[in-house]
């Protein structure tokens, strides 16, 4: 007679994820049962309250370590707490941007859909389903970097990805680019997930287990067919490299960044990178640490190509969102140097870089939402000419964030790049460091080009203006700016906190 054994779960340690999932389900109920007029403030309150409560819970369990929170399928340790905290902070700032919902509706007369939908859109009704979708994506992101087996990793990957496919198409009534972005992201994401599963199957065939600890023990003992390990590792890496936008798996990035609503782009560019690199760090630093001679050459080549490609192609861009997209590709290459380093300094530097880059990215896209004309956002770089004369504060903040991307001293970007290149140099990856420094110099050109365009070019009367931001957007921009400067001038407290906290447990 079979006896049912109830799963042993630590609800306290899993509470950050459970709180966000509960808020997402509550948001779905609000969509189903509340009237259209009261949904926006209720959904915003639920989203922000859920994220703040989850962040408070992450802070409460920050000193706890456990491998048994969910029967061995997740690990609660220092890197997990740091990644979850960063994701939640970025999600809160992104929700602030999402609350300014001119990005999701179109007030034009000819619209598809039912007459009720057309009337709602013409009157400026807000699309409120974006809030529960955001919370579902955040729940997947919180699970992804703490997963310790391949099945949980795949479930987390899908939970974070599926809402993003929908969110990318939420301004479908305003422009066809959003539809195109959602379709490309979905199709390429489906291929990526298939590669991930294919790699997981090979790794199971190699080790006889799906747990990262079991795979690590198998690699250490070197059983079975090494070809299974190499093929599984290669295909698993494809799924992860797609999420971080590394070359040659970057094809979705420029089109999705350009076509998706700008607040959604900010959320994807910042939080998704933290989750994906968090999972990548756990996988390569734990399961495959003893097989680094098998994967480090491949990852080094991808990092070098990604840094050079993103920096060079960004120079030719004339759309500000596409420029930031190629910039994010280059930053994915910089972050890969921390994965390749495979040492404690590389882990600490990558976590710091992820937080600094993510905050600056949300601030930059927040600025993009403010530069407008009568038809909406203005992303053509030529029409940003003279922005420093029309709106000195907005241009100054944007220039500071661009300098942080370029790694100029007194910004968080400089500390991040210095730390991550130092870690890579210590590990003996001198070629990657040399290419990284060269790519940073190339990238500085197109960042400074935008600054020159804003401050040293005469403005053109073409209808472009800077809208007065709402309180929430203003808070996002100011917080991003303040953190970027603070981490550039006083990075030691955060660096010390990361160094004392970030240790993987097996």
What pLDDT shows up at residue 175? 65
Asked if pLDDT for residue 287 goes beyond 50, the answer is yes
- Count of domains observed in the chain: 1
What does the alpha-carbon distance between residue 340 and residue 350 come to, in Å, rounded to a whole number?
11
Position 4 in a domain: no
Position 29 in a domain: yes
Asked if pLDDT for residue 283 goes beyond 80, the answer is yes
Mean pLDDT of all residues in 497-506: 85
Asked if pLDDT for residue 147 goes beyond 60, the answer is yes
What does the alpha-carbon distance between residue 249 and residue 311 come to, in Å, rounded to a whole number?
16
From residue 427, give the alpha-carbon distance in Å to each of 135, 300, 353.
Answer: 38, 12, 18
CB-based contact 224:218 (threshold 8 Å) = yes
What does the alpha-carbon distance between residue 210 and residue 203 come to, in Å, rounded to a whole number?
7
- 466 in helix, strand or coil? strand
What pLDDT shows up at residue 102? 53
Asked if pLDDT for residue 451 goes beyond 60, the answer is yes
Asked if pLDDT for residue 187 goes beyond 50, the answer is yes
What pLDDT shows up at residue 111? 42
Asked if pLDDT for residue 380 goes beyond 90, the answer is no
What pLDDT shows up at residue 116? 47
**DSSP per position, 413-435:** HHHHHHHHHHHHHHTT-HHHHHH
| Summary mean pLDDT of the chain | 85
What order do you get walking across the sheet with 371-373 strand by strand?
Answer: 376-377, 371-373, 465-466
Higher pLDDT, 401 or 12: 401
CB-based contact 312:244 (threshold 8 Å) = no
Position 6 in a domain: no
What pLDDT shows up at residue 113? 46
List the structure tokens of 21.
């999932």
Q: pLDDT band at 223, cuts 50/70/90? A: low
Position 15 in a domain: yes
Mean pLDDT of all residues in 454-462: 76
Mean pLDDT of all residues in 27-45: 87
From residue 489, give the alpha-carbon distance in Å to each of 215, 224, 408, 440.
Answer: 42, 51, 12, 20
pLDDT tens, position by position, 57-108: 999 988 888 887 778 788 888 899 999 999 999 999 999 998 876 555 543 3
Domain that holds residue 282: 11-501
What does the alpha-carbon distance between residue 494 and residue 506 come to, in Å, rounded to a whole number?
25
The closest alpha carbon to 336, from 365, 295, 386, 375, belongs to 295
Mean pLDDT of all residues in 180-204: 89
pLDDT tens, position by position, 337-349: 999 988 898 899 9
Position 316 in a domain: yes
Asked if pLDDT for residue 110 goes beyond 70, the answer is no
pLDDT tens, position by position, 482-492: 999 999 999 99
What pLDDT shows up at residue 169? 85
What pLDDT shows up at residue 67? 81
What pLDDT shows up at residue 386? 82
Portion of the chain with pLDDT greater than 90, in percent:
42
What does the alpha-carbon distance between residue 244 and residue 232 come to, in Å, rounded to a whole number?
19
Mean pLDDT of all residues in 155-176: 82
189-198, 289-298, 300-309, 484-493: range with lowest mean pLDDT: 289-298
Asked if pLDDT for residue 443 goes beyond 70, the answer is yes
What pLDDT shows up at residue 266? 92
Higher pLDDT, 375 or 496: 496
Q: pLDDT band at 172, cuts 50/70/90? A: low
Mean pLDDT of all residues in 358-362: 94
What pLDDT shows up at residue 174? 56
Torsion of CA 187, 190, 192, 195, to 10 degrees: -130
**DSSP per position, 13-73:** HHHHHHHHHHHHHHHHHHHHHS-TTTHHHHHHHHHHHHHHHHHHHHHHTTT--BS-TBTTS
**CB-neighbour burial class of residue 298 (10 A; exposed 0-12, middle 13-18, buried 19+):** middle
Position 5 in a domain: no
Position 2 in a domain: no
Peptide bond into 502 cis (omega under 30): no
Position 130 in a domain: yes
């Amino acid at each position: 007679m079979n006896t049912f054994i109830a799963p042993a779960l630590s609800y306290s340690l899993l509470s950050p994820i459970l709180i966000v999932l509960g808020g997402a389900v509550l948001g779905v109920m609000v969509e189903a049962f509340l009237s259209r007029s009261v949904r926006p403030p209720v959904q915003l309150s639920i989203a922000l309250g859920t994220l703040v409560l989850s962040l408070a819970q992450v802070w409460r369990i920050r000193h706890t370590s456990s491998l048994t929170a969910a029967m061995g399928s997740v690990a609660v340790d220092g890197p997990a707490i740091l990644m979850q905290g960063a994701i939640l902070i970025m999600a809160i700032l992104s929700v602030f941007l999402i609350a300014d919902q001119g990005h999701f509706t179109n007030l034009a007369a000819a619209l598809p859909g039912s007459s009720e939908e057309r009337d709602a859109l013409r009157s400026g009704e807000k699309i409120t389903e974006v809030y529960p979708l955001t919370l579902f994506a955040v729940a997947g992101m919180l699970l992804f970097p703490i997963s310790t087996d391949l099945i949980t990793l795949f479930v987390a990957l899908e939970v974070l990805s599926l809402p993003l496919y929908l969110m990318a198409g939420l301004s479908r009534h305003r422009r066809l680019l959003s539809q195109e972005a959602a379709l490309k992201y979905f199709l390429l994401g489906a291929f990526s997930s298939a590669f991930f599963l294919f790699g997981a199957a090979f790794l199971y065939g190699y080790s006889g287990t799906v747990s990262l600890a079991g795979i690590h023990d198998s690699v250490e003992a070197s059983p079975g067919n090494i070809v299974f390990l190499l093929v599984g590792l290669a295909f698993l890496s494809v799924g992860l490299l797609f999420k971080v936008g590394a070359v040659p798996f970057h094809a979705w990035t420029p089109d999705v960044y350009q076509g998706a609503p700008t607040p959604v782009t900010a959320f994807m560019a910042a939080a998704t990178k933290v989750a994906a690199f968090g999972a990548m760090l756990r996988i390569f630093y734990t399961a495959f640490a003893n097989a680094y001679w098998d994967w480090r050459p491949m990852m080094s080549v991808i990092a070098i190509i990604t840094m050079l490609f993103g920096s060079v192609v960004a120079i030719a861009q004339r759309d500000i969102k596409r420029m930031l997209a190629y910039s994010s590709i280059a930053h994915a290459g910089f972050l890969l140097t921390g994965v390749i380093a495979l040492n404690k300094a590389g882990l600490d530097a990558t976590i710091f870089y992820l937080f600094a880059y993510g905050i600056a990215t949300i601030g930059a896209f927040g600025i993009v939402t403010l530069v407008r004309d009568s038809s909406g956002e203005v992303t053509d770089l030529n029409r940003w000419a003279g922005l420093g004369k029309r709106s000195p504060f907005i241009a100054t903040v944007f220039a500071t964030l661009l300098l942080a991307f370029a790694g100029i001293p007194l910004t968080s970007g400089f500390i991040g790049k210095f730390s991550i290149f130092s870690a890579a140099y210590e590990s003996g990856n001198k070629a990657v460091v040399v290419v990284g420094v060269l790519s940073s110099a190339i990238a500085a050109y197109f960042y400074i080009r935008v600054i020159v365009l804003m401050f040293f070019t005469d403005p053109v009367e073409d209808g472009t203006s800077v809208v007065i931001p709402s309180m929430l957007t203003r808070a996002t921009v100011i917080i991003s700016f303040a953190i970027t400067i603070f981490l550039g001038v006083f990075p030691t407290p955060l660096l010390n906190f990361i160094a004392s906290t970030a240790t993987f447990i097996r």
